[in-house]
Structure 1
Amino acid sequence: MTHRFHPTSLREYDIRGIVGETLGEADAYAIGRGFSTLVRRGGGTRVATGYDGRESSPVLEKALVKGLTEGGVSVVRVGLGPTPMLYYAEAVLEVDGGIMITGSHNPANYNGFKMVLFGRPFFGADIQGLGTMAENGDWDAAETPGDVADHDIVDRYVDRLLEGFDGGAFRIGWDAGNGAAGPVVEKLTAKLPGEHHLLYTDVDSRFPNHHPDPTEEKNLADLKVLVAEKSLDFGLAFDGDGDRIGAVDGEGRVVWGDQLLSILAEPVIADVPGCTIIADVKASQALYDRVAELGGHPLMWKTGHSLIKSKMKETGAPLAGEMSGHIFFAHDYYGYDDALYAAVRLIRAVSRIGKSLTQLRSDMPAMVNTPEMRFQVDDSRKFPVVREVLDRLAASGAEVNDTDGARVNTADGWWLLRASNTQDVLVARAEARDQAGLDRLMAQIDEQLALSGLERGPQAGH
């Protein structure tokens, strides 16, 4: 038996596609067979599965479980919930891996699979390997199929989110965006002190109110209105599968991923002096400066949740984060990205620092920056263009960090150009102290693109 995945579905960090077009039940079954083979070859016997609120998720889960059990692996089904709940199950139950069925923040007709094997992220070459195994029919047969058990872990997960809670009582707005985090938000806020106002906690695969991606400001409009109308202290929002967080302060200003990280870092560095705090190459210079000022060691690393998790393990960093709202706590937690846990830690951090979130946001240095700009470029060109830019910058003696693409420091500030690992886009960002400086930085980006025969065309969506 062999199976061929659609070439676009095997991504850097997950397997993802359009249901019925580039992803279906046969793919789910093949993932189960391939993954069970890897689990058994590594001496394992059990895998946890979970799924988000998409219409296609239960059908895909059924096919996945069939593949896993026919491959001789037993399955623990934790059911509907956010991705971090599945990560939690993988960390605390006696299992050797975990698979989450989720389309994350993609449109409703998408779905996908995120995997963990033997406690580490399963990505890159691992995912390509599953494709090769399927194509060659390199699946181990099982004499006896694995069994299936259902395990309701939601309440235990919520209790773990609140373990050691020492935060005060705030008035908070919560927007679950009709994603898979909704039911957990309901249970969590019922146990937290303070006053909580909830939006869109019912799971609805059509996302009728707004798209569940808190990194796009337009998706925070309803939360801003709620915070303003009720005069709340701040508001929190989650993506479709609950592994990315967004926030607005009491004045309705967005507190971006790197700004949240600078607040979350303060109590962590106080507890672990001199510790490493990791952020991705898109993060503001203000964050790196703040971490250093607090006595931490700031480390700039590649964008991508699997890459960040691996770097945390390597360096022993207690905290890491990305501009995209992935926040990873290894300090008193498991080192994976959990937006619900980040929300609880934010409440605790604001309490401990002793200033309101609005004040903390106001205290941050005023920077003029662009959002993450993404523009279409042919897949075969995206990495070569970045290489050409790096070569020209090196020849000109520019101050460049090439951790992930080209991040260039100038007297005005910095600019970044990198190739996306998951899409046929180039990503650019720039940050300066004033608009004139930002304009000069943007001119440098445009100049480099022009020299490679490109222009900063229309914005590509996520």
Structure 2
Amino acid sequence: MSHRFDPTILREYDIRGVVGRDLGPADAYALGRCFATVLRRGGGQKVAVGYDGRLSSPMLEAALVEGLTASGADVVRVGLGPTPMLYYAEASADDVDGAIQITGSHNPVDHNGFKLVLGSRPFFGPDIVRLGEMAAAADWDEGAGGVERREVLEAYVARIAEGIAGVEGLSDLRIGWDAGNGAAGQAVERLTARLPGEHHLLFTEIDGTFPHHHPDPTEESNLADLKALIAARKLDLGVAFDGDGDRIGVVDGLGRVIWGDQLLGIFAEDMLARRPGAVVIGDVKASGALFDTIHRHGGRPLMWKSGHSHMKAKMLETGAPLAGETSAHIFFADKFYGFDDGLYAAVRLMAASARLGRSVTQLRSEMPVLVNTRELRFPVSESRKFAAVAEVRGRLEAEGARFVDIDGVRVTTPDGWWLLRASNTQAVLVARAESGSAEGLERLIAEIDRQLAASGLRRGDQAGH
């Protein structure tokens, strides 16, 4: 029988919805049928499958495995763990051709979804659209695949720990770790037991209700417990993870957040000392200070589209050993596999600080003082959001403005820069601005508002700072 996915769950980078409303076991089963068919028609045979700690994940995993095997794929079940552990299972095994993680990432507790990899490459955009078309036509193969269980947690943790191999001066570090009751909890426990220094752990019990705080370290309010731990224990720094462990949050010893683009600047300085001239990719939402840092330390900065799938694809295309997003997905192909892994980023931060000879707090203090908005997100219909950005682009071109349009429009003015882009995953527009002064920032925000008004839109009542 054919299957029709709710069109809202087929996103640009993954498949995601609300369990019981627009996502359920029938969708997982159909996804398995379609993905196995694509895999086998391309010459592959074996799929690794993992899942996060959400209450619905075991149910979806069982239906997914049933669908994969019904279309003839063999399944390697790696069990409960962070998304990067599933990526590792695929990247490190010679006999695995694709991978699917059941995860709701940092979304609310009733959400869930699937992240897909095929042949060590991200599976997104037109690939996901194709799955929907195949399901609607029942265009899938018949078969009877096998299932095996493979324990990879210990090997994964050991591989993460290699990020500090040969690095001296780590024994005095005192670090707080907040797993947020997400899927990385058990891995954090095992990893910190291997690392030098003193480690204080929060909320490592995996619990899909997220009883302490929501697992999204890009929201500063979710870092309150980590900040309190750092202050109470006088720690050097703290790290936190999202629900599936592929993003990192960092707080320095003074309780200041180090955002994703700032972290990428630290990683770039460290890596470029060993790999001068390397390309480092930042997303279109990143601070101008990041691109200046990359250039100053002898690298070749490249601005690219936001989204973890876009980043991975661009790394493969350019051979870049390092990339990152403002949303704190950090991608290391330098001594690693090129996927986003919050735990590996934490270990590499320890190594970078030691090699650079400056504490994380000192590295944060040395960063230029800029004023910027975080992401300003406001609802705009799916049918209107891309058209509105196109209208803004047309006016900017007519006005002779300086801008890049690789992902929305990023406009440079004497005051700094501002960005307007359409989200690929939600019916929203996203704006951001950055300046060297509060007055400059106000002028940039006013320019965003002027452009929106010319298209019959407004930001709403979100704060500008």
**TM value normalised by structure 2:** 0.98
Aligned residues: 458
Query: Structure 2 regions of 5+ residues with no counterpart?
Result: none
How does 1:49-68 map onto structure 2 within 5 Å?
49-68=49-68
Aligned residue number for residue 141 of structure 2 = 140
Q: What residue is the counterpart of 2:121 in the other structure?
A: 120
Pairing partner for 1:377 from 368, 375, 380: 380
Counterpart of 1:355 in structure 2: which amino acid?
R
From 419, 424, 427, the counterpart of 2:427: 424
Aligned to 1:161: 160
Aligned to 1:227: 230
Q: d(CA) in 2 for partners of 1:77 and 1:29?
A: 15
Residues 377-433 of structure 1, C-alpha deviations (whole Å, 9 max, x = no match): 111110011111111011111110111111011111000000000000000000000
In the TM superposition, what are the counterparts of 1:207-218 in structure 2 within 5 Å? 207-218=210-221
Unaligned runs of 5+ in 1: none
Q: Are the aligned partners of 1:376 and 1:457 in contact in 2 as well (CA < 8 Å)? A: no
Instruction: Describe the SS at the equivalent of 2:258.
Output: coil
What's the offset of the Cα at 1:163?
A: 1.6
3-state DSSP of counterpart to 1:345: helix
> 1:39 offset after TM fit, Å?
1.0
Counterparts of 1:89 and 1:407, CA distance in 2: 37
Measure, in 2, the Cα distance between the counterparts of 1:459 and 1:103. 26
Distance in 2 between residues matched to 1:343 and 1:35, nearest whole Å: 33
Work out the CA distance in 2 between the residues paired with 1:402 and 1:60: 38
Report the residue type matching 2:81 in the other structure.
G
2:266 corresponds to which letter in structure 1?
Answer: I
Aligned to 2:180: 177
Matched, 1:262 2:261: no
Identity %: 66
Task: Output the amino acid matched with 1:39.
Answer: L
In the TM superposition, residue 271 of structure 1 has moved relative to its aligned partner by 1.4
**Aligned residue type for 1:26:** A
**Cα separation, 1, equivalents of 2:8 and 2:135:** 15
| SS of residue paired to 1:100 | strand
1:37 aligns with 2:16: no
Q: What is the CA distance between 1:268 and its match in structure 2?
A: 1.1
Q: Does 1:320 align with 2:320?
A: no
C-alpha distance in structure 2 between counterparts of 1:46 and 1:325, whole Å: 31
Structure 1 stretches of 4+ with a deviation exceeding 4 A read none
Equivalences for residues 50-449 of structure 1 within 5 A:
50-93=50-93, 94-142=95-143, 145-163=144-162, 165=164, 166=167, 168-169=170-171, 170-449=173-452
Contact in 1 for aligned 2:163/2:351 (Cα 8 Å): no
Amino acid at match of 1:132: E
Q: Distance in 2 between matches of 1:96 and 1:336?
A: 16
Question: Are the counterparts in 1 of residues 83 and 244 from structure 2 also a CA contact under 8 Å?
Answer: yes
- Looking at structure 2, the residues matched to 164 and 442 of structure 1 have their Cα atoms a distance apart, in angstroms, of 41
CA gap of 1:44–1:295, structure 2 versus 1, over 3 A, is: same
Give the corresponding residue for 1:451: 454
* Mapped contact 2:90–2:96 kept (Cα < 8 A): yes
Worse-superposed segment, 404-413 or 162-171 = 162-171
Post-superposition shift, 1:118? 1.1
Aligned residues: CA RMSD: 0.9
The Cα of 1:438 is off from its aligned counterpart by 0.5
Counterpart-to-counterpart distance in 1, 2:327 and 2:55:
25
Normalising by structure 1, report the TM-score.
Answer: 0.98
Contact 2:31–2:67 under 8 Å retained in 1? yes
1:457 Cα deviation (Å)? Answer: 1.3
Instruction: Tell me how far apart the structure 2 counterparts of residues 378 and 17 of structure 1 sit (CA, whole Å).
Output: 18
Q: Secondary structure at the match of 1:162?
A: helix
* Aligned-partner Cα distance in 1 for 2:15–2:437: 41
Question: CA–CA distance in 2 between the matches of 1:290 and 1:100?
Answer: 34
**Which amino acid in structure 1 is aligned with residue 106 of structure 2?**
H
SS of the equivalent of 2:245 reads coil
> Residue in 2 aligned with 1:48?
48
